[in-house]
Amino acid sequence: MMKSTAIAHPNIALIKYWGNLNDEINLPANNSISMVMSGVSTKTTVEFGSKLNNEIIINDKKATGEKARRVDDHIQRILKLDNRKTNYKIVSKNDFPTGAGLASSASGFAALTVAACDALAMKFDTRRLSIIARHGSGSACRSIHSGFVEWISSQNSEDSYAEQIAPEDHIDLADLVAIVETHEKKVSSKEGHRSAINNPYFKARLSELTKIIPLMRNAIKNKDFQTIGELAEHDCLSMHSVMMTSNPMLLYWQPETIKVINKVVDVRALGLECYFTIDAGPNVHVLCRQENADEIKEKLKSVKGVKDIIVNNAGNGTEVISDHLF
Amino acid sequence: MMKSTAIAHPNIALIKYWGNLNDEINLPANNSISMVMSGVSTKTTVEFGSKLNNEIIINDKKATGEKARRVDDHIQRILKLDNRKTNYKIVSKNDFPTGAGLASSASGFAALTVAACDALAMKFDTRRLSIIARHGSGSACRSIHSGFVEWISSQNSEDSYAEQIAPEDHIDLADLVAIVETHEKKVSSKEGHRSAINNPYFKARLSELTKIIPLMRNAIKNKDFQTIGELAEHDCLSMHSVMMTSNPMLLYWQPETIKVINKVVDVRALGLECYFTIDAGPNVHVLCRQENADEIKEKLKSVKGVKDIIVNNAGNGTEVISDHLF
């Protein structure tokens, strides 16, 4: 039976992906470095067969429009690798609320890639799976691997994939995601990536990153928590600076974003080491040592406007599992 | 009698001053452009005489420490221009609350310069007064003139002064300052200016400004409100990007800052043209046409956390007045 199910986790970038060399096939302008988020996941079942009718169900709803088109494109891309033509059914489910502002495209396209390739009995190594997942959504390529991951920038599609820097149990790092109230209309990341290219601050960012990326890679290898945190915080502010100075301006922060940033700065000043990083949205990821996670979680809970806190360690890569969703 | 009183207004930069070529005598790294704020002022009386005892009273309090030292340095600098040595008494008063987060050093050093020079009967033109005021506080040089003002960057002290671009009645532009709650410890601008120099984003900013400054100058001359607003908003985000990416990070925004930014974006989307700009603090200046000022003021008042709104038009330069403070 051509049916398989995979589970994948989102990832939080410590060095961000923003801006492409090639928007069509997601070739990034810079290397990025991330940690897999153990606390949240996407499960996806893919079945192929001529009697199926290309149904796509995401979070219990039939997918339509742009969302369905992106999934269909990805499935056709994978079928083409095997010179096959057939129909499919896809059911995918996140274990985190859609409205939480957590990007699900990384875990979504990683799980879809692994489940589809497995259903077709295509035995690819993780490098190949990473390249395939990248075509669906850039940062999905990082969710193929477990632990701490670096995605390589290249002009050449075959050379732009993610690889593991360190396994999931390498450092006792926790990522507490403070989910904040969202009042705001979301600006598409796709558009944002495009607007970066002509921004002079983007060029400054790329030039600075050539120095920062090896520092972050080494800090992870050396389990140097302080350097990881300081570089992640700076890189988050660097990416958001590029966003804010783009035309049109992309300001993803909300009042609660600043509240959590201020709390992190205060907690750190009190001697409890933690650092913030923020993706293209208003939620704040707080990096800390696992031994301090409970105490810092309580402090973040006290911030008005924080709706929920998701606790992550460095998680697993994308895996085939046996319990199908249909 | 060697006694004189002057009144000066703060100014709001449409193109910001951030970073120096020379920190000691405030030679800025870039030209900046500002509007004098008619709605707030500083009044300063200076008297010279051998029987006085170098008393400095600011907002009804005896000034001490760093604050007193800066004022004394400035007075000694002015006395030296005339090769004089004598004692003084200075009384200065703002008509806006000190805790409001409005920078008073621009109006303070402009009023101090003009009152001191007048008390000593030193007849300087506005260019010379602007250069003297600059030594006390960089942006004070812009408050010497009325209306819309440009401060020229130069390696040479004699060539770094402000001059008027357009008089106060040239455009019907209003600046509504939304005063927000401040929870935060203030980071000194002096330190901030220093940290900019090694920041790669600062270099990107300086390079972009060579294009933007003539555009802003022309927009003011041409009464092109939309271009003034769009450039001011972008430049504010550009300066705050440099601040955020400095080491240590300078994040002057508060949750209420984002609330007001969001309100400005919403009000503009509804067709009521307005733009934001933010100095090195959490307050938001909202630029709009005078005919819309009342309506926009009401909308800003509805934002939770906005304590007060100060309404400004383009104001007068620093003037000698007859009613002394003592």
Q: Which helix (H) or strand (E) holds A163?
A: strand A162-166
- pLDDT tens figures, B46-70: 999 999 999 999 999 999 999 999 9
pLDDT of residue A192: 83
**pLDDT tens digits in sequence order for chain A, 326 residues long:** 899 999 999 999 999 999 999 999 999 999 999 999 999 999 999 999 999 999 999 999 999 999 999 999 999 999 999 999 999 999 999 998 776 778 789 999 999 999 999 999 999 999 999 999 999 999 999 999 999 999 999 999 999 999 999 999 999 999 999 999 776 556 677 778 888 888 999 999 999 999 999 999 999 999 999 999 999 999 999 999 999 999 989 999 999 999 999 999 999 999 999 999 999 999 999 999 999 999 999 999 999 999 999 999 999 999 999 999 99
Closest to B305 measured CA to CA, from B261, B266, B257, B265: B257
Please list every residue in chain B whose beta carbon sits closer than 8 Å to the beta carbon of residue A240: 244
Closest-CA residue of chain B to A207:
B200
Asked if B129 and B114 count as a contact pair (C-beta separation under 8 A), the reply is yes
Mapped onto helix, strand or coil, the DSSP state of residue A8 is strand
DSSP E strands, chain B: 3-8, 11-15, 20-22, 27-28, 32-36, 42-48, 55-58, 61-62, 88-94, 148-151, 162-166, 173-180, 274-277, 284-289, 306-312, 319-321
Is A88 within 8 Å of A47 (Cβ atoms)?
yes
Helix, strand, or coil (residue B273): coil
The answer to whether residue B145 neighbours chain A at the CB level (below 8 Å) is no
Cβ neighbours of residue B86 closer than 8 Å, sequence gap 6 or more? B2, B48, B49, B50, B52, B79
Q: Tell me how far apart the alpha carbons of residues A189 and A196 are, in angstroms, rounded to a whole number.
A: 11
A192 Cβ neighbours under 8 A, 6+ residues apart: A18, A243, A246, A250, A280
**Which residue among A201, A237, A258 places its CB closest to the CB of B258?**
A258
| Cβ within 8 Å, pair B203-A204 | yes
CA distance A232 to chain B (A): 12
Sign of CA dihedral B254, A276, A279, A111: negative
Q: Which phi and psi angles does B85 have, rounded to 5°?
A: -130, 120
Query: Is residue B164 within 8 Å of residue B34, measured between CB atoms?
Result: no
Pick from A213, A201, A244: which is nearest to B202 by CA? A201
Burial level of B268, CB count in 10 A (0-12/13-18/19+)? middle
| pLDDT of B162 above 90 | yes
Q: ipTM score of the complex?
A: 0.93
- Touching check for B257 and chain A: CB below 8 Å? yes
Locate A182 and state its tokens. 């969202």
Contact A226, A273 (CB under 8 A): yes
Write down the pLDDT at residue A99.
67
- Which residues on A lie below 8 Å from B255 (Cβ)? 255-256, 258-259
pLDDT at residue B290, as a whole number: 97
What is the rounded distance in angstroms from the CA atom of residue B28 to the CA atom of residue B17? 7
Chain B partners of A251 at a C-beta cutoff of 8 Å? Answer: 237, 258, 261
Structure tokens at A173: 């790092």
Q: Does A268 touch chain B (CB under 8 A)?
A: no
CA distance B113 to B115: 6
| Whole-number Å distance between alpha carbons of A3 and A212 | 43
Find all residues with CB under 8 Å of B138, minimum gap 6, and list them.
B17, B20, B26, B28, B151
